[in-house]
C-alpha cells in the first residue's frame, strides 16, 4: 500500500518509520528538510507539496499542531485535496477540536475523500515503541481499511464513533492526564515542603488506591527532575484550551479541568512551555518557595 505521511515531528517521525519498517512505500512532505533526514536510509519518496503526496498515496496520515494546520495541509493551496486520487483516505492523528474534525471531514467528503480523526495517547515513548492508544472517529468501513496500519503504530486501537468522536475521547484523555499530572506534582511538592522524602511517599502510594500510571511514570520523572519533553507543556495547554472551549459550547462545568488549564497557561507564561508537562512540579515549587 502507498502511504503518505505529513507531520514528521516528535511523534510523527517514529510512527512513519514503523510503517516503513513494515514494508510500506512512504510518500513524505515536510516544511523543514531536517525532518526528512531520518528517512534517508529508507525507500521513502519525498515530494514538493501535500498535493503531490496525495497523488501518490492510498492513505495519508497527518500529525500536525492544531486545526488550522490540518486544514491547510488537507484543504489549502497545494493541499491533499488538490492532488487526491479517487478513494483517498486521510487519517489525521493530530489533536484538534471535535467540531473542527467534523468540518474537515465534511469538506473532504464533498470532494470524494474519506477522513478519520485518530488522535493518540502515549507520548514520544509510546510512538517510539509503537504502543500508543489510538482513538478513532469515522466510518466503520473506512476504519477497517486503515486499522492494520494503525496496528503498526499502537497497541490499543478503538473506533469510538462517527467523525469527531476520536477527538472527544482524546479530550477526555487530556482531562485525566492533565489533572493527574497536576495532582501528582502537588502531592510530591507537598511531601517535600513537609520535610518528608517524596520518593518514599510515592513508593507507598503506588501500593494503594492512589496508584496510577501517571504517579508511576510521571512521578518518577519528577523525582529524577527529568523534564526533557516527551509531551511539551504548550501542547497540553493547547489541548486543555480545546477542552474548555468545548465545555463553554456545551454549557458544561469542568472545574478541575479549568484550574489545570490555568496552571498550564502559567507554565507557558513563565517560560516552561517547551519543557515536558511534568515540569508542572517546577511551577509549583516556584509558587511555594521549594524551588
Cα separations in angstroms, 224 against 62, 116, 217, 220, 257: 33, 38, 11, 6, 26
Element at 160 (helix H, strand E): strand 154-161
Task: Give the model confidence (pLDDT) of 182-232 as tens digits.
Answer: 999 999 999 999 999 999 999 999 999 999 999 999 999 999 999 999 889
Spatial contact of 264 and 237, defined as CB atoms under 8 Å apart: yes
Sorted by where each begins, the domain ranges of the chain are 2-161, 168-288
CATH 3.40.50.1820 fits 2-161, yes or no: no
pLDDT in tens, 41-89: 888 999 999 999 999 999 999 999 899 999 999 999 999 999 998 899 9
Q: Residue 230: its pLDDT value, please?
A: 86
pTM: 0.93
CA distance 84 to 51: 7
The CATH architecture annotation of domain 168-288 reads: Orthogonal Bundle (1.10)
Give φ, ψ of 62 to 5 degrees.
-125, 145
Q: How far apart are CA 116 and CA 163, in angstroms?
A: 7
Alpha helices in the chain (DSSP H): 12-21, 50-55, 67-75, 80-83, 98-109, 123-128, 140-150, 165-193, 198-205, 213, 219-224, 233-250, 255-269, 280-288
Task: Give the bridge partners for 161, in sequence order.
Answer: 137
Choosing from 139, 170, 228, 282, the catalytic residue is: 170
Determine whether 170 is an active site residue. yes
- Average pLDDT for 119-140: 96
| Whole-number Cα distances in Å, 160 to 14, 19, 34, 137 | 24, 23, 35, 6
Give CA–CA dist 100/26, Å, rounded: 27
Q: How confident is the model at residue 31, as a pLDDT?
A: 87
pLDDT tens across 228-286, in order?
998 899 999 999 999 999 999 999 999 999 999 999 999 999 999 999 999 999 999 99
Distances (CA, A) of 120 to 124, 136, 156: 11, 9, 10
pLDDT at residue 181 greater than cutoff 90: yes
Rounded mean pLDDT, 113-124: 96
pLDDT at 290 over 90: no
Amino acid at each position: 500500500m502507498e502511504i503518505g505521511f505529513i507531520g514528521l515531528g516528535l511523534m510523527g517521525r517514529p510512527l512513519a518509520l514503523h510503517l516503513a519498517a513494515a514494508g510500506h512505500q512512504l510518500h513524505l512532505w515536510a516544511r523543514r528538510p531536517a525532518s526528512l533526514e531520518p528517512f534517508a536510509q529508507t525507500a521513502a519518496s519525498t515530494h514538493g507539496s501535500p498535493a503531490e503526496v496525495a497523488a501518490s498515496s492510498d492513505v495519508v496520515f497527518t500529525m500536525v499542531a492544531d486545526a488550522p494546520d490540518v486544514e491547510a495541509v488537507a484543504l489549502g493551496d497545494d493541499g491533499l485535496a488538490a492532488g487526491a486520487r479517487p478513494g483517498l483516505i486521510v487519517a489525521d492523528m493530530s489533536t484538534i477540536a471535535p467540531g473542527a474534525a467534523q468540518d474537515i471531514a465534511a469538506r473532504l467528503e464533498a470532494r470524494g475523500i474519506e477522513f478519520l480523526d485518530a488522535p493518540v495517547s502515549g507520548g514520544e515513548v509510546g510512538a517510539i515503541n509503537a504502543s500508543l492508544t489510538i482513538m478513532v472517529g469515522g466510518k466503520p468501513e473506512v476504519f477497517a481499511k486503515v486499522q492494520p496500519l494503525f496496528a503498526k503504530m499502537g497497541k490499543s486501537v478503538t473506533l469510538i464513533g462517527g467523525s469527531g468522536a476520536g477527538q472527544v475521547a482524546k479530550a477526555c484523555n487530556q482531562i485525566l492526564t492533565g489533572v493527574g499530572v497536576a495532582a501528582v506534582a502537588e502531592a510530591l511538592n507537598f511531601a517535600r515542603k513537609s520535610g518528608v522524602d517524596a520518593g518514599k511517599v510515592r513508593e507507598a502510594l503506588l501500593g494503594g488506591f492512589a496508584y496510577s500510571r501517571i504517579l508511576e511514570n510521571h512521578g518518577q520523572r519528577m523525582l529524577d527532575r527529568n523534564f526533557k519533553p516527551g509531551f511539551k507543556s504548550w501542547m497540553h495547554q493547547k489541548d486543555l484550551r480545546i477542552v474548555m472551549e468545548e465545555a463553554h459550547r456545551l454549557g458544561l462545568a469542568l472545574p478541575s479541568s479549568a484550574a489545570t488549564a490555568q496552571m498550564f497557561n502559567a507554565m507557558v507564561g513563565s517560560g516552561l512551555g517547551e519543557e515536558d508537562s511534568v515540569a508542572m512540579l517546577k511551577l509549583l515549587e516556584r509558587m511555594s518557595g521549594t524551588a
